[in-house]
Chains A and B, each alone.
Chain A
């Protein structure tokens, strides 16, 4: 295995390692535009030129393989001069419209100019005019003047989606990125070309002019859009509420996890964030004499607790049904099960639904559109006795088996239609809805308790391959909303049972001690990339 010395640090690397990969291992920063770890090597931007002892000219780090005894300097005068020259060429036709460019603040032309440029312009010629603000698809806006022709977006569409919508036409300084006339970048992963564009040439039409990137705060999370559980980053704006009309989430971005989603995420997941700030249930409410009235959170919990307490005392708890959504975290699910099944002794607690399947492909998009179906299975949040599924439990409610139905985030109307919901309401004395967003079920439920969305929660999801992954709260809950596990703690306290926890982590630790498939896991062990359930053998996850 060849040894290489880079800036005085010696490192042994495997055969075929490029200088770029070796610098990454040594945490030495070499600037680049066209190189991307998830794509083939193009070697066209010339920004990663480094000084290799021996050859008279600087070499590109992304393509040059390390050989035994190679000595590389990334900070020598020769290397610096080469990078400066490259940058001068890349910027020669650039429009310098940073004040109106979305990329400003996270632009590698700006960043590298500050690190490696800092020259006075020698460019007296007329700049080439190219097309600006040209929509090239539902989600992507193209500005040809800002492009440095790194070809990352072209390679993404060729190598990752295989759809080949983008190309570089013409020659020399007239070269430009374009789509074929009448065609669009309309693949299911189009938003990724914006992420990998190192400059402001491709911007996101959804995010465009919404917020300056330096006002954003970022929190790592996991996409709740399907059972794949792609790793994401939630970018929110709390400091400038006037931008985006007070909405907190400005955009979602994929986060690297080679076990789950590489560097990518689908458009369906990327643009599925409006529910976090819109149409939220912010206060508890009840229906009194046909009129919805807002009540205190505590009163709503009291009211539900007394119904449960009475039922248990009078041995009627068999006439209570609980529907649980697999949008809930493992911690929420575990506490729901512990309280209703273990403590109250109920059978009918059910999370299995045959949801109408959504679109899917053989890459990241899964037909099961909830993030924690595998978690609910592993935790066995399923009814005992004769109940087959959530739908079965609903049919039995309509047949008169239950007096009380509590739904944790299951929109009965959305799932099975208005007729079933109305039939339930005719049979039960109480339909309680614990959830984050308004829907037809929450509007008709006699008691509503607000709960948090994933972006406000600490906890874990288990993806379709059995990988347990952390989510973290990006910001505090809206209104009175609380996580489901806390609502369970409140209910438990009022009914005299001891289901309690200080935080999600302590619940997770209880799960690892009581559920064998979670054995040996901890939040620390999950880290940023998650861990597989012990019952899952290492398999190809993607």
Chain B
């Protein structure tokens, strides 16, 4: 796969920040995901070639982190926290409401590509419980009406 020059340039900049090339793998993967939306097998192979390793070693890293997507995700990637604080504050009814509203199950992407939904372990914003994350923004504390409003404004 041909990597666009602008992305290649960003990779080079990332690598230049570290003593060891290998250390730049996570930034390089994040830049790639920002560019393509997800990390395909072809991207893994291109990154492996660039980093001077084999594709399976890139896949090891990609599959270790939840933050990397191996399949395309919706324009709005909704991750709903269901760990302790959010759970005690009633995330379950809200998750049910969300799923009904956008019409997809956990781990799915809507056919129009607008939404993806998954449950997340603690996102570190317990003071906002119950909360969710859409792309890079976090929302909370949520209730029935707020959730509806946020989804409708997407």
Contact = CB atoms under 8 A, between A and B. Distances in A.
Contacts of B55: 180, 183
B63 A164 contact: no
Closest 9 CB pairs of A and B: A164-B54, A167-B56, A180-B55, A169-B63, A180-B56, A167-B60, A170-B63, A171-B64, A169-B59
B63 A166 contact: no
A296 interface: no
Given A180-B44, A181-B41, A164 B64 contact: no
Indicate the member of B54, B55, B59 with the most A CB atoms within 10 Å.
Answer: B54
Interface in B42-90: 44-45, 53-57, 59-60, 63-64
B68 to A, nearest CB: 11
A167 B62 CA distance: 12
B63 to A, nearest CB: 4
Chain B interface category by residue count: 10 to 19
Given A180-B44, A181-B41, A171 B63 contact: yes
Contacts, number: 36
A410 to B, nearest CB: 43
A307 B54 CA distance: 64
A424 to B, nearest CB: 52
A166 B56 contact: yes
Indicate the member of A163, A167, A179, A181 with the most B CB atoms within 10 Å.
Answer: A167
A183 B44 CA distance: 13
Given A164-B53, A178-B56, A180-B44, 8 more contacts: A165-B56, A167-B60, A169-B56, A169-B64, A171-B63, A180-B45, A180-B59, A183-B55
Contacts of B60: 167-169
Nearest to A163: B54
Nearest to B63: A169
Indicate the member of B41, B53, B60 with the most A CB atoms within 10 Å.
Answer: B60
Contacts of B54: 163-165, 167, 180
A437 to B, nearest CB: 40
A37 B72 CA distance: 44
Nearest to B62: A169
Interface of A: 163-171, 178-181, 183
Indicate the member of A168, A170, A178, A180 with the most B CB atoms within 10 Å.
Answer: A180
24 contacts: A163-B54, A164-B56, A165-B56, A166-B56, A167-B54, A167-B56, A167-B59, A167-B60, A168-B60, A169-B56, A169-B59, A169-B60, A170-B63, A171-B64, A178-B59, A180-B41, A180-B44, A180-B45, A180-B54, A180-B55, A180-B56, A180-B59, A181-B41, A183-B55
Nearest to B54: A164
Main secondary structure of the interface of A (DSSP, over half): loop
Contact of B57 (A167, A170, A171, A181): A167
A259 B42 CA distance: 43
Contacts of B44: 180
A168 B55 CA distance: 12
A168 B62 CA distance: 11
B1 to A, nearest CB: 14
Contacts of A180: 41, 44-45, 54-56, 59
B46 to A, nearest CB: 13
A179 to B, nearest CB: 6
Nearest to A157: B54
B55 to A, nearest CB: 4
Contacts of B64: 169-171
B154 to A, nearest CB: 30
A433 to B, nearest CB: 49
B124 to A, nearest CB: 18
A178 B44 CA distance: 15
B150 to A, nearest CB: 30
A170 B59 CA distance: 9
Nearest to A182: B41
Interface in B70-114: none
Nearest to A177: B56
A168 B59 CA distance: 8
Nearest to B53: A164
Nearest to B55: A180
Contacts of A165: 54, 56
A179 B56 contact: yes
Nearest to A169: B63
A201 B63 CA distance: 21
Nearest to B48: A180
A171 B64 CA distance: 5
A183 B60 CA distance: 15
Contacts of B56: 164-167, 169, 178-180, 183
A68 to B, nearest CB: 34
Contacts of A171: 63-64
Contacts of A166: 56
B35 to A, nearest CB: 21
